[in-house]
Structure formats: structure tokens, C-alpha cells
Structure 1
Amino acid sequence: MKAKDYFEQALKAGMENSDLFYMLGQTLIKLEQPKLAMPYLQRAVELNEEDNEARFQFGMCLANEHMLEEAVTNFTEVITRDPQHADAFYNLGVAYAYLEKKKTKHLRCWVKPLTCSLTICWHYMRKS
């Protein structure tokens, strides 16, 4: 039996747990089925609004399905909760670029991940 089957069995047994929905969503993403993962990730976010990783992955699925406005909303929420989430900044910039909105705004979104990366490198080199 595969992980997906175990997670689905737990759902059928009536478990209503944000981690379960997140793990099933992640499993479907790993199986290259992001469209099927969307409702599970959405439910994970509904059950635990503080779960930034579930929200980010939900945003990624939305973006992959060309639901860019919704993806922007989720990426923005992730950044609000974690201003150092470089992947959310980057993907927010990509979504804005595809939406052809606020052309200068999406460029600023790409600067933040670079700044985060440079800061991490600087701290790493300083410790060496």
C-alpha cells in the first residue's frame, strides 16, 4: 500500500486534520497530480490558517493551474506571515509578471529573495 492510500484511508475513517490534508496534497504533488492536490491543500489551510507551507503549496498549485489572482492572494498572505519566505516572493513576482500587473511591483518581489540569499551567504561565510 502506498502513502496516498494510507492518507485516503484516514480521511475515509473521518479524520479532520490539517496535517493529513497537507500530507495527502503533498503526496499528490509528488505523484505529479497538482490539480488533484488543490482541494486537499485548500482544506489544510482552512483547518489551520497559520500553516504557511500549506498555503504556499496551495498557491503553487493555483499558479500551475493559471489561477493567478488566487495564487497572488496566497503568496501575499505567506509573505505577510513570513517576510523571509524567498520562494513566496519569487513566485509572487512570477505571478505578477504573468498577470502583466504592476510591472514595477513584480520586479521588487524578485529583489527580496536575492537579498535573503545574500544575507544567508554572508552569515555562512562569516562563520567559516
Structure 2
Amino acid sequence: MNLIEKGIEHMQANELEEAANTFNQYIEENPTDPVGFINFGNLLNHVGEYDKAQNFFNRAIEIDSKSGTAYYGLGVLHFEQKNYQQAAKEFQNAVRFGLDDADAYYMLAVSLRNQQNEKLALPFFQRASELKKSDTEIQFQYGLSLAYNEQIDHALNQLLYVTELDDQHADALYNTAVCYLHKEQPKKALTFFKKTLDAQPDHMLAADGKIKVEEYLSEG
């Protein structure tokens, strides 16, 4: 196990001082390798030392101006501070410099969504979903993005896929019901409102939807 792997192991065990010492040792022994600075930056991000973390990421970029992981770290840093415009810029840099990673595309998409730019976010949610097909949160958010972009048929198929991955995913079940309402299929919508409540009995939106659809069907 090298020093970087050892430092990451300390981080995962929440042994933060040990992680810092290990990454610092790596940097001292490898001052021209951006990896040490990136991992120390990630550690500082983790504890909320954003200014210090930024210095480490910037140092990594000085060493390698095309380090996708360094830009990703900066993206996380700005995202954590709710600076979504700058976060999106850094995540775009990460992708541009070769970080073909589901989390990078996902974080870029969420950063754009948080700027109310759902249309631009959609292809990045799609790419994330392609790279991590079993990640229910990524798949769900892609489904929502399709719905927000009024691609209801595609959204419905995507949300049904999420319910295949997790048949207790209450928000996916609820939004499936909403899609069926948009498609004017109230009986199917009612089925999924009920499934939502089975998964999460206190889901108020589903409860309200169920009552309204039952009233509509009884009048018909």
C-alpha cells in the first residue's frame, strides 16, 4: 500500500490527522506530483477548510493544468459553498480534461439545475446515467430531468426503470404516478400513488393525489 492509498484509508476511517500526515509525507517526497495535493485538498474539503483546500487544488493545477481530478475537487469545493455557477465551470473543466466519470457529470448536472438551467443539465444527467446504471439516485434524477424538460414518455420509462432497481423508491413511484396523470391514465396513476404510500405512508403529495384521482374516477 502506497502513501496515497494509506491516506485515503485513514480518511475513510475518519482518522483525519493521520490522513493529513500521510498526504503531507507524500507531498514532501513527491513535490511535483499533483496527486498528493489533490488528496490533501479533498481532505481539507471534507473538514470545511475551503480556502486551504483551494490552495492545494490550485497547486495541483499549476503542476498539471489538465488534471481533471483537481478541477473536480474545486467543483466540489464551490458546490459545498452553494457557488453553483463556479462549481459548474470547474466540473466542466474536469470533464473537458478527461474525467469521464459518472459523479463528475452528475455534479455538473446538479450544479446547472441549481441555476434553473434544466435544459442544459439534461445531457449530463443522461451521461451520468449511462455510466452508473445501477445508481438509483442518478437514475432517478435523470428521470426528473426528463420530466422537467417535458419529455414525459421518456421520463416515465426512466422512472419505471428506477422502480425496477428499487421498488420502494417512494419519490420514483410518486413521479411515475404524476407522469401517468400527464398521459391521462388516471387508473395507472392511482396504482402508483398507492404504491408510493405503501413505500412511504406519510408521503403527503401521494396521499393528496390518491384522494383527487379516486374522486375523479368516482365521478366518471
- TM-score, normalized by the shorter chain, greater than 0.5: yes
Give yes or no for the alignment of 1:88 onto 2:172: yes
Give yes or no for the alignment of 1:38 onto 2:122: yes
Give yes or no for the alignment of 1:48 onto 2:132: yes
Point out where structure 1 has 5 or more consecutive residues left out of the alignment.
Answer: 121-128
Instruction: Give the secondary-structure state (helix, strand or coil) at the position aligned to 2:100.
Output: coil
Residue from 138, 158, 166 that aligns with 1:74: 158
Residue from 10, 16, 22 that aligns with 2:106: 22
Larger RCO: 1 or 2 (CA < 8 Å, sep 6+)? 1
Structure 1 consecutive aligned stretches of length 4 or more whose deviation exceeds 2 Å: 115-120
In 2, Cα distance between the equivalents of 1:52 and 1:84?
A: 11
Q: Give me the TM-score of the superposition, normalised by structure 2.
A: 0.52
Point out where structure 2 has 5 or more consecutive residues left out of the alignment.
Answer: 1-77, 79-85, 204-220
Residue from 76, 92, 117 that aligns with 1:8: 92
* TM-superposition CA deviations, 1:7-45 (whole Å, max 9, x none): 011011111001111111111111111111100010001
Residue aligning to 1:105: 188
> Identity, % of aligned pairs?
35
Quote the offset at 1:116 in angstroms.
2.3
Instruction: Give the secondary-structure state (helix, strand or coil) at the position aligned to 1:49.
Output: coil
* Count of aligned pairs between the two proteins: 119
Counterpart residue identity of residue 115, structure 2:
L
- Which structure has the larger Rg over C-alpha atoms? 2
Residue aligning to 1:116: 199
Q: Give me the TM-score of the superposition, normalised by structure 1.
A: 0.87
